Structure 1
Amino acid sequence: MIHLSRWKVILLALSFVFGLFFAYPNVLTAEQKAALPGWLPKSGVNLGLDLQGGSYLLLEVDVPEMREKRLTNLGEDARTVLGETGIDISGIQQDGSGVTVTLADPASMDRALEAMRPLTGGAGQVAERIVRRQGEDRIRYAFTQQAMDSMASTAVTQSIEVVRRRIDSLGTREPSITRQGADRIVIQAPGESDPAELERIIGTTAQLTFQMVDVENSVEEALAGFPPPDAEIIPDAAGFPYLVKKRILVSGENLTRAQVTTDQNNQTAIGFNFDSAGARRFGEATAQNIGKPFAIILDGVVISAPNIRSAITGGSGIIEGSFTIQEAAELVNLLNGGALPAPLQVEERRTVSAALGADAVEAGALSTAIGFAIILIFMLLSYGFLFGGISIIGLLLNGLLIIAAMSMTGAALTLPGIAGLVLTFAVAVDANVLIYERMRDEARAGRSVIASLDAGFNKAMGTIIDANLTTLVAAAIMFVLGAGPVKGFAWTLSIGVFTSMLSAVLVAQVALAWWLKVAKPKKLPIAE
């Protein structure tokens, strides 16, 4: 193992080139990075929230409200389907997982079951809802137990993706969005100094629906407490009440694209496009209701209620609402990012100031420098300038490779990550200590310089690999099961395990093989 192999020299040279190539952007200013050619890397190490400052939000997904809304939609689906079939119902009762529909005429049971059966899903789909007979005049229409069990988990997963898209649209660099527990989301946004603004953007539900305005019943009677069972009062932004059918014709789930545009009066508006299913449903609804108004509703507020002049079959249209350009652009970002499946409740918010972040960076840099200095002094005193100096060169390469790897992968460096960096230096130099001590033992036993060097690498390598593997397994467990700072520590430590194996062992092998070839020593300097 002590031979000066060409492939080891090439690998070591490539390691230095890799480290310099991806780490150098960290010493450039923003203007210098912008002036670089496009093929050169420009990303440096991203500082985490605790080092850079920013906003922290702990959000809770309102799963009960989401379930309540979906149960309401079940009732409206049943009411609409049976009404279109000409089957009268005497009531719809909602409970924990579905609704029970009571028929006015028990003789219509078979027709009602036949009409409602398509509501469970098409052929080849996993049924999330069931329709079954319950007594002589009642039909049970409900979510399956599997659908109810997965509802909360799915809502949190979808919320995380929506929140991520919305934060990305703000230009925030390297946000950390993680799940906490069953129904909570932790958001760390470095560089965002206003958590209230961040909360406003990501907390907007952005539920867009198209529903018919009820022109057959009186708004006044509904306001007096006598609304029809299939309609509800929804106000516009000025508080003007509209009586709107509960049935949703098309929702934002069918939206494929939204963009800022202008209407026929050259006023700012929002253009939209539906997918094929949404375009078909929207075309059918507008064709059946020509001359009637329909409401465009965003988060429980009517933003427009135009009359249908003709069937809209192209799957596209515009939303007029006296928007400013800024309001329209923000709404377009929200719609393109997708609607939250459930409201988000803020449980905790806080701001880490840039001053605190700067203090943390200074403290982290100081602790790293002190740790490196202690290691340097120990290695020089224990093994002399030759062997100790080789270890220090390996440590410098190790640090360079860690910075390069974190810059290339876009990983965020946190304060616990700095602790992982210091620990990585200690683990890396530990490999050299194992090798050198084995060499010392072999030399004291009377073996030659070459035999001592070779035995040092051969016999210590098994212990080094075992130690690094156990460290890597522990880091992997922390990364998978941990969150936030724990992940930062685990990620830095994991990178350090791989780079330390390369730097500590390879640098020592190449340097000592070259020293052996040039100096031709008669005894090992560290044997005394």
Structure 2
Amino acid sequence: MNTAPKSSKPEPIKPSRPLRPLALLAILVIAIFASLGIGTKTSDASWAPKLALDLEGGTQLILTPKTTDGSQITPEDIDEAIAIIRQRVDASGVAEAEITRQGQQNIVVGLPGTPSDETLDLVRQSALMRFRPVLEIGNPGVVTEEQLKSTQGEDIEGADDPYLAAADQDKDGKLSEEPATDPANNSDPAWVTEKVLYDFLKLDCTDPANVTGGATHPADKPIVACDPEGSAKFILGPTDVEGTQISSAQGRPHSNGQVLTGDYEVGLEFKSEGTKQFAETSQRLVSLPPPRNQFAMVLDGLVISAPRMQSAILDGKASITGGFTQEQSFALAKQLSFGSLPLNFEVQSEEQISATLGTEQLERGILAGVIGLGLVMIYMIFTYRGLSVITMASLLMAAILSYGTIALLSWTQGYRLSLPGVAGLIVAIGITADSFIVYFERVRDEVREGADLQTAVSRGWKRARRTILASDAVNFLAAIVLYFLAVGGVRGFAFTLGLTTLVDLLVVFWFTHPLLELLVKTRFFGGGHKWSGLDPTHLGATPVYRGRGRGIEAPKPKKAKVAAPVKGSSTLTIAERRAAERRAQREAAEEESK
């Protein structure tokens, strides 16, 4: 029985097109910096990325929450206050702000750069909770006249229709702000004046600027508001019950009266005055058609919940259901408890802070990065000789792409580069160099096996790219997990780590590999020069050069002769066994030549 392995022809090498990915990469780089150039002329873009608080300095405020009735503030209340301030700051477009607790009750807010007066006012304002009846609910986007016609019908077209009249008029003071008739109660549609309707139609809750919170409205007037997620917008009547009338709120398992359903609910209890007000409200709402049978809980100017009134509640003990998870019910209860406090933020201090310490650390970080880059290049030159030129060019391209992308994100997304972010960029040097080493070693392995250089580059790339993709996938996954689980400066490190990992893939696939494909066609690299880093003799093979363009092949004996088994081969590694076999073949060839 013949057990000899079947001979197989080497896989044909597909013709490469290295100029195509290089051209695509060039277009991408030009597009990034062209966008920045246009932005510097037409907008507030800058060629340099914006810096975070630790590198640029900014404004620091120390706030102390105080209750007007002397009630005690719990640590949970402080956490909710921090969450509200963070939502305001993040939604206003200020990135890399630092919001932390100082001591038992103080809240420290650090805003990088020169924040606007509007942003500072958002931080200083108190958060209010109010219960308002729902008059109208709509989709979050801006409503146009064409959309009104398509939904209401062409028969309402004309200046007499209040919807179209409000949509047509400009903000020139012609819109009426007073109800046409005296409203009978807070749920009366008469509260929807021309001005209120106009504001509702033009409100865009998909715009982050409209979900910042911090808005203050008169309690006795109707308002338009968004939910925090920007998924709906509301017209709300005047306030029925103030949040300070809440006695307690807690998340708990929901029961249908006999058994637990598996869902959670929020138990809500009012004080004596609030019980009377809520009883009147519930009796009114329960008989109204949707959506006017809903009441909205408005915290910090945003609708955090708008449940339907299913029955009149006369004892001041309500339960809010809606298929809540345990986490959702606890979060809503926490918001309601916070809104029950008659809370104000007292500004203890407000001052400009410098970045002297951050600048010194940045200089040391850059110095460390330069030293690390120098050591990497020394190692590459010593180990890979001429291939180190490709390494230097690739690292330069990665630096250009990373810098341009960060500057573009700084302009378009408000991103600010922090010191941990700089650390992520320095770590990226090692990640990118690791990809080059994997690739070069795979190519050199093929040369050691006797393949000509163009074949070695093609086969080595097929073997290397799987390893590079796996390694970068692990790095990117780690960056994502770190970004979502961490807070503060660690997120800046995770962001730049993830960004540079993607840049590494782009550079290796669209620059390093195509560049090596081009250089291997030159005499210096393709001819296996001793300083090219691809010299077969230096790598352990014994090549026979057959002229430029004809490749390098390992020598073959004149006659088909199987070399004797190498003594002790069972204890050798694969590389040592192959080297021993090549030595045996050379000795056999020398004997034949004699």
User: Quick one: which of 202, 205, 208 aligns to 2:126?
Assistant: 205
Distance 1:479 1:164, change over 3 A: closer
Is 1:189 the equivalent of 2:125? no
Is 1:459 the equivalent of 2:385? no
Offset, 1:161: 2.8
Offset, 1:504: 2.8
The amino acid across from 1:388 in the alignment is S
CA contact under 8 A between 2:65 and 2:346: conserved in structure 1? Answer: yes
Distance 1:488 1:427, change over 3 A: same
Offset, 1:415: 1.2
The amino acid across from 1:275 in the alignment is P
Offset, 1:10: 2.1
Deviations 1:88-121 (A, max 9, x none): xxxxxxxxxxxxxxxxxxxxxxxxxxxxxxxxxx
C-alpha separation in 1, matches of 2:442 and 2:30: 31
**SS of structure 2 residue aligned to 1:47:** coil
Offset, 1:68: 6.8
**SS of structure 2 residue aligned to 1:401:** helix
Is 1:275 the equivalent of 2:212? no
Offset, 1:16: 2.9
Match of 2:451 in 1: 447
The amino acid across from 1:526 in the alignment is G
C-alpha separation in 2, matches of 1:162 and 1:449: 60
C-alpha separation in 1, matches of 2:32 and 2:397: 8
Offset, 1:403: 1.4
Distance 1:417 1:444, change over 3 A: same
Distance 1:355 1:271, change over 3 A: same
Is 1:526 the equivalent of 2:542? no
The amino acid across from 1:368 in the alignment is G
Is 1:381 the equivalent of 2:382? yes
* CA RMSD between the two structures: 5.0
C-alpha separation in 2, matches of 1:481 and 1:349: 30
Is 1:174 the equivalent of 2:95? yes
Matched ranges for 1:42-53 at <5 A: 42=46, 44-53=48-57
Distance 1:279 1:37, change over 3 A: closer
Offset, 1:477: 1.0
Offset, 1:174: 3.2
Distance 1:469 1:176, change over 3 A: same
Offset, 1:23: 6.4
C-alpha separation in 1, matches of 2:108 and 2:476: 26
C-alpha separation in 1, matches of 2:508 and 2:110: 35
Offset, 1:465: 0.8
Match of 1:471 in 2: 475
Distance 1:504 1:349, change over 3 A: farther
CA contact under 8 A between 1:421 and 1:493: conserved in structure 2? Answer: yes
Offset, 1:444: 1.5
Offset, 1:206: 6.6
Distance 1:369 1:443, change over 3 A: same
The amino acid across from 1:12 in the alignment is L
Is 1:498 the equivalent of 2:511? no
Offset, 1:516: 2.9
User: Quick one: which of 422, 433, 457 aligns to 1:418?
Assistant: 422
Distance 1:398 1:436, change over 3 A: same
C-alpha separation in 1, matches of 2:500 and 2:471: 13
Matched ranges for 1:104-253 at <5 A: 157-164=83-90, 168=92, 174-176=95-97, 187-191=109-113, 202-205=123-126
The amino acid across from 2:87 in the alignment is E
Deviations 1:344-401 (A, max 9, x none): 588999975232233233223222222222222222222123x111111111111111
**SS of structure 1 residue aligned to 2:520:** helix
> Matched residues, percent identical?
21
CA contact under 8 A between 2:56 and 2:355: conserved in structure 1? Answer: yes
Match of 1:391 in 2: 391
C-alpha separation in 2, matches of 1:491 and 1:203: 30
Distance 1:203 1:5, change over 3 A: same
CA contact under 8 A between 1:383 and 1:526: conserved in structure 2? Answer: yes
CA contact under 8 A between 1:20 and 1:400: conserved in structure 2? Answer: no
**Structure with greater proportional helix content:** 1
C-alpha separation in 1, matches of 2:462 and 2:239: 74
CA contact under 8 A between 1:55 and 1:191: conserved in structure 2? Answer: yes
C-alpha separation in 1, matches of 2:406 and 2:95: 12
Structure 2 unmatched ranges of 5 or more: 1-13, 131-185, 200-215, 225-234, 241-299, 304-337, 539-594
CA contact under 8 A between 1:178 and 1:185: conserved in structure 2? Answer: yes
Deviations 1:238-295 (A, max 9, x none): xxxxxxxxxxx99xxx9989xxxxxxxxxxxx99794359996499xxxxxxxxxxxx
Offset, 1:436: 0.6
**SS of structure 1 residue aligned to 2:17:** coil
The amino acid across from 2:359 in the alignment is A
- Rg (Cα) greater in structure: 2
Offset, 1:473: 1.0
Please report the TM-score for the alignment, with normalisation by the length of structure 2.
0.45
Match of 2:355 in 1: 354
C-alpha separation in 2, matches of 1:19 and 1:5: 22
C-alpha separation in 2, matches of 1:180 and 1:499: 36
Distance 1:162 1:280, change over 3 A: same
User: Quick one: which of 14, 20, 27 aligns to 1:14?
Assistant: 27
C-alpha separation in 1, matches of 2:77 and 2:217: 31
Give aligned pairs, total: 328
Distance 1:271 1:467, change over 3 A: closer
The amino acid across from 1:396 in the alignment is L
Distance 1:160 1:433, change over 3 A: same
Distance 1:462 1:346, change over 3 A: farther
The amino acid across from 1:405 in the alignment is T
Offset, 1:37: 3.8
Offset, 1:191: 2.7
